Each structure stands twice: as structure tokens, then as C-alpha cells.
Amino acid sequence: MRLQALFLAVILFTSPLIWRVPNYWKANIMAAITFILLAWIAPTSVLLMLSVAFLQWLVWKYDFIKSGRIKVIVTVFLPLLPLLVYKWKFATGQWLIPLGLSYYAFRQIHVAFECYKAEMQKPALLSYFQYLLFLPVILIGPIHRMPDFQRSLRRMKWNASQYSDGLERILYGLVKIDFLGNFLFSTQLTQVARGVSSHALRLYLEVIAFTGNTYFQFAGFSDLAIGAGLVWGIRVMENFNAPFMATNMQDFWRRWHISLSSWCRDYVFQPLAALSRNRWIALISAMLVLALWHEISLRYIVWGTVQAVLILLTVYSRKKTPAVSGFINGHPVGRWIGRIWVFHLFAFSCIFIGSENIASLGTNFKHIFH
């Protein structure tokens, strides 16, 4: 939070400068501010980010690899390698993950895939650096897309209402993080839970507190990023769309951490579905990548598999029991039943990631259901 507060302060104080300079300079100045700040706080991170981006650019610029497939494998592997090494070392408790690595590595992989699909032109080195060095999204995402960033950059024009929208969004983000997440769910509800004598009810309240806190923290940080982006004049993609209003798990994953789930859909699910001709394998792989992106550990593998199974069951039940599914998704009462069901499904699946080890996982489930 302290780092985010520093980033926010820098963004707010430098915003008059960003808006005063000619359009051509805006992106360069934003990148320069980000570079200076990161070089001061997290030099390893910025060195890793820029060196990987430079190597990718070399592969695109000088066509020394002729095959398009090998080229995409190399350009995807370059950011993937440090991500895997650092995540693995972090999981074994040896290294710390450089600031924002999980996010910018996925951005770099996104650019590599888009260049391969010819959906966008191979970026110039400067514009690639401008995209990667965008301060509002460095710390905690979203994994915004390069074509959107460049479009927003081209359309950049002073707009007072956009600026005030940004400030309002930052305030909403702070309320979500501090008041709803930290205070209501993390502190107050946990205290209420501790006072309850029943084991099952206490654990149930703790699960609700964990899920509520996770959502508000994450949605709040996304709001801060989107608001800060607007203050600098760039519209960043939305990351949450009222996920607990979803009536089934498939819908939930279209609304929760949209930038990551859409990344997994575009770069894991769709290619694997096309290659294997089996969308179930593709779905399980996509959910596993989504889970392992958070942390390389057994508990996240289990959590990802559970999410995939829940989506599979949603699709299966839609086919087998269309009447029930129609009621849940179509009728007002059914929709609320669906929402409560989805919230609880997700909250209980979070026990897998909230438990330190298999033994405590077993104990947690035992306490809830006995």
C-alpha cells in the first residue's frame, strides 16, 4: 500500500506536466517518470523488463529466425523463463519476485502472440518501452493490451471530466481497499468470527471474510490503477465487472480479473482448443495457467483444477438440465439463487488457497461440514 501511495502521489503531482507538454512527448515523459521511479525502487525489475523487451525486439527487428513458429516460441520463452525461475525460487523461499514481474511478463507474451498472429505490427523499441513503462499498472495490473494503450495514446486530449473521473475512481479504490477490505471484512468480520463458539460457523465467517477481503483489495487496487491511468490520460481496461452478480461459474470468470482471464482465453484456451480439438483439455490447461500465475504450488494447482471442474459442470448442467439452468439464469429469483450459489462456490474453493498445507485443508473442511 505504501508503494502504491508513492506511485499515486507521483502520478498526481506529475499530471500537470503530462498535460502541459506536446502530445508527442507525453508517452516519453510517462515512460521516463516510470523508469526513474522503478530504477530507484526496483532496479532488478526494470533491468529484467527492459532487457527481455530488448531481446524480443531484436528477434522481431532482425529476421535471423525465419520460421514464424520458432520466432513466437523464442519471443514467448524470453519473458516466460524469468517468470518461471523467479516464481519457482519464490515458492521454495529463496528469492523475492521482482516488482510487477507477473504482470509485465504476461504483457510481453501478449505482444509476442499478437505479432505472430499479425493482429498488430511489430512494435518499435521506443513504443514497446512506452507500453511496458506505464506506472499506473506496474504494481498490480491490469494486464492491459498494447493496441488499446496505443489507441488511447493517439486519442489523448485534455478532458476535465476524464480527469475528475480518474480522481473519483481513486477515491473509490481507497474506500474498497481500506474501509471495505481492511476494516470491514479483514478486521471486523474476523473479530466477529473469533467470538463465535461454533467451529463450523466461525470457519464459514472466516471464509466469507477472506473472500470479501480478497475481492475488495484486488478490485480496489484495480480502481486505483484505472483512476491513475485516467489522470494521466490513458484509459486502462476494466478488471472486475461485479463478479458476485454472476449467476454461474462461467459468467463469474468473465467478470473476475478480466484482464488475466481474457489473457488465458486468448493465449492458452484458444490455441490449445485449436490444436487439440478438445475444449475440455484447453479449459483445464487455461485454468491451470491462470492458477499457477498466482503462485507455483500444489494448492494453486488444486484450486485451478477445481475452477475448471466447476466451469465444466456449469456447461454440462446447462446441457443436461436446461430447465434448471433457464430458471437460474432467467428468472429474477433464480438469478439471486445463482448469485448466492456462485459466491459460496468461489468462497469455498478459496479454502484451497487459504490453507497452508494439505493437513490444515483437511481440518478446515472437516470443521465446516461436521
- Positions in the binding site for another protein (CB under 8 A): 161, 164, 168, 171-172, 174-175, 178-179, 182-183, 187
CA distance 288 to 66: 32
Per-residue cell: 337: 439463487
71 contact partners, CB below 8 Å, separation of at least 6 = 59, 60, 65, 116
Nearest-approach distance from CB 172 to another protein, in angstroms: 7
Contact 47, 149 (CB under 8 A): no
Nearest-approach distance from CB 260 to another protein, in angstroms: 27
Q: Is the dihedral of CA 95, 100, 103, 108 positive or negative?
A: negative
Nearest-approach distance from CB 226 to another protein, in angstroms: 15
Closer residue to another protein in complex, CB, 49/174: 174
Using a 10 angstrom Cβ sphere, with 0-12 exposed, 13-18 middle and 19 or more buried, the burial of residue 75 is buried
Closer residue to another protein in complex, CB, 172/327: 172
Per-residue cell: 156: 489523448
Nearest-approach distance from CB 161 to another protein, in angstroms: 8
Nearest-approach distance from CB 165 to another protein, in angstroms: 8
204 contact partners, CB below 8 Å, separation of at least 6 = 368
- Name the amino acid, one letter, at 39: A
Closer residue to another protein in complex, CB, 51/187: 187
CA distance 249 to 254: 9
Using a 10 angstrom Cβ sphere, with 0-12 exposed, 13-18 middle and 19 or more buried, the burial of residue 365 is middle
Nearest-approach distance from CB 366 to another protein, in angstroms: 33
Closer residue to another protein in complex, CB, 174/234: 174
Tell me the chain's radius of gyration from C-alpha atoms: 22
Closer residue to another protein in complex, CB, 100/181: 181
Of the candidates 205, 197, 198, 61, which has an alpha carbon nearest to the alpha carbon of residue 121?
A: 61
Closer residue to another protein in complex, CB, 148/165: 165
The distance between the two most distant Cα atoms of the chain, rounded to a whole number of Å, is 68
Closer residue to another protein in complex, CB, 1/358: 1
Using a 10 angstrom Cβ sphere, with 0-12 exposed, 13-18 middle and 19 or more buried, the burial of residue 356 is exposed
Closer residue to another protein in complex, CB, 39/171: 171
Nearest-approach distance from CB 8 to another protein, in angstroms: 12
Q: Is the dihedral of CA 227, 228, 232, 234 positive or negative?
A: negative
Nearest-approach distance from CB 173 to another protein, in angstroms: 10
Closer residue to another protein in complex, CB, 178/295: 178
Nearest-approach distance from CB 205 to another protein, in angstroms: 20
Closer residue to another protein in complex, CB, 116/183: 183
Per-residue cell: 10: 507521483
Please name the residue ranges forming H helices in 42-100: 43-61, 68-91
Nearest-approach distance from CB 171 to another protein, in angstroms: 5
